[in-house]
Amino acid sequence: MAKAVGPEQASLTWSGRAVDTGRIESELLRLRYEAAGGTRGGETFAIRTSLLNLVVHAADEKAARRASQVIAGMPSHHPSRSIIVVTKPSAAQSRIDAELSAHCHVSPGLEQQVCCEEVVLRVRGRAAEHLHSIIIPLLVSDLPVYMWWTGPLLGLTHVLEEVQGSADRLIADSARFADAASGLGQLVQLSGERPLRGIGDLNWDRLTPWRQLLMQHWQAPNLRPYLEKVDAVEIAFAESGHQAQPSQAFLLLGWLAARFGWNTEKISRAGPGGGFTIDAAKGAVSVRMAPAAGCPDLEPGWLVSVLLRGRGKGERASLSIGRTGDPMHLAVRIEEPERVLEGRVRIEACDEGEMLAQELDMVGRDLQYEHALGRALAILRALAGGR
């Protein structure tokens, strides 16, 4: 039923079918010792540092493999135990299959090592409806539990309910939600629940360079007088072939609304062009949010460009940021009454491992995200109600 492979270098694996959690725990312990010993010619390390538990819900085998690859890309940052769960509640027989691996890395020239363990659980039958009873025994005691939800939230709420009681922080990816309004609505609801101490969204992390650029330019003395009173926003998002789900664009708009203090309760549609206006203290803001075709390199829903236009001293200025066709660069264009400035800035690749690492660095709540999320949802709901 089970086989141990290795020791080879510092990575060891084990797999077993129809196993119990006690067996999984004892095999993990053995692998950890052997993996640690293997890195130093058989000498056993007695000390390890641990930061967190990461529980991953994967909708299917493909998602589980992808999650495993993403996690493998960031072990040097996070000594951790990852538990990837694939469920099949419809199976007639209740059964748990497990694949375990332990990896220890020694930094070159240093006497330090980082050890990570990964457990892939395939849970079938009725046991899949009682995941907490399988996952809790496998968590490393008294370490924060991060839960990474890799799929759409809707339709799988029972799994989430099962596990969220033991999670400190939920990390979702709103780009994968089937529907923006209901998916973001669920996140808002979860953000208020205990014992969750925080909620994260990889789709929000994709916006980080965009938000940084907007903030830098908005706060620059030349542009600030104009952007104090933004009256128009245009956001374009990728739509390649089929209809995109625009949660990323709405999160950015929600963030802008929170930063500028717009009243997202007061939204009105503005004519047939698909635009709408948001009430703000310094006058209405007209918003145009539209899909952009011809972006084959981008995932549907990812941001293509954003433009802010404002008025100050009776004159207009604008700031626009957009894709360049090169995934490593964004184009920035500033139009002031006296001049037009254009340039390119380098951005990091939208690597899921890096984004996950950022999320795992967060301990408490990400209030900027929660505010943006709340505003984005308010706008989505107001638009749906106004239809």
- What does the binding site for another protein look like in residue numbers (CB under 8 A)? 20-22, 25-26, 29, 33, 36, 44-51, 94, 96, 123, 126-127, 130, 132-134, 136-137, 139-145, 166, 197, 361, 363-365
CB of 268 to another protein, least distance (A): 38
Secondary structure (3-state) at 11: strand
Q: How far is CA 385 from CA 206, 255, 336, 379, 382, in A?
A: 29, 21, 37, 10, 5
**Closest separation in Å from C-beta 364 to another protein:** 3
User: Which of 15, 277 has the CB closer to another protein?
Assistant: 15
Q: How far is the CB of 133 from another protein (least distance, A)?
A: 4
For another protein, the closer of residues 50 and 182 by Cβ is 50
Contacts of 385 (CB under 8 A, 6+ apart): none
- State which residue, 115 or 257, has the beta carbon closest to another protein: 115
Beta bridge partners of 87: 123
Quote the least distance from Cβ 58 to another protein, whole Å. 17
| Nearest residue (CB) to another protein, 2 versus 29 | 29
- Residue 287, Cα to own-chain centre: how many angstroms? 26
> Is 259 exposed, middle or buried (CB count within 10 Å of its CB: 0-12, 13-18, 19+)?
middle
Q: Closest CB to another protein among 24 and 244?
A: 24
Q: From the CB of 16, what's the least distance to another protein, in Å? A: 13
Question: Would you mind telling me the total number of residues written for the chain in this entry?
Answer: 387
What is the side-by-side strand order in the sheet with 303-312?
Answer: 263-269, 276-279, 285-292, 230-238, 303-312, 315-323, 329-335, 340-346
Which C-beta is closer to another protein: that of 17 or that of 126? 126
Phi, psi of 344, rounded to the nearest 5 degrees = -125, 140
Closest approach of another protein to the CB of residue 384, in Å: 34
Kindly tell me which of 192 and 241 has the beta carbon lying closer to another protein. Answer: 192
Query: Phi, psi (5° rounding) for residue 281?
Result: -60, -35
The CB-of-54 to another protein minimum distance in angstroms stands at 14
Residue (19 or 319) nearer to another protein, CB: 19
- Which of 13/94 has CB closer to another protein? 94
User: What's the min distance (Å) between Cβ of 130 and another protein?
Assistant: 4
Nearest in space to 164 (alpha carbons), one of 181, 186, 140, 185: 186
Closest CB 146 distance from another protein, rounded Å = 12
One-letter amino acid of 263 = N
Tokens 């067996």 appear where?
A: 23
Contacts of 29 (CB under 8 A, 6+ apart): none
What are the strands of the beta sheet with 169-172, ordered from one edge? 3-8, 11-16, 95-106, 113-124, 80-88, 52-58, 145-149, 169-172, 198-201
Residue type, 181: A
Rounded distance between C-alpha atoms, residue 212 and residue 306, angstroms? 13
